[in-house]
Amino acid sequence: MDSNQLNELATNALLDHWPLHLGVRTEAEKVAYLAEQLREAADAEERADSLADELETAQDQTYEYERQLEAANAKISDLNAVIKELKAKQQ
């Protein structure tokens, strides 16, 4: 359920308005339905938090790989300069 649907459910619950398609009639069914929706919302929040952590880790790794690539490119440039100097001395 998205946030709009959850807000609508909360409003309907406060108004004691339970659409027929929900299939809840008794108070126990209403409570059980709300509890299930809360569990699903909590699970979605946990997944979002986990994905945010994974994204942060991936961004950190990307930064580290970019730093390593820059260092490698600088080393290649230095080595190319050394090779050029050695070839010049050879001639």
Length of the chain: 91
d(CA 77, CA 90): 20
The pTM for the full model equals 0.69
Summarize pLDDT for 31-52 with one digit per residue, the tens: 999 999 999 999 999 999 999 9
Structural domain boundaries, residue 9: 3-90
d(CA 82, CA 38): 66
30 touches 18 (CB < 8 A): yes
The total domain count for the chain is 1
Q: Residues of the chain whose pLDDT is less than 50?
A: none
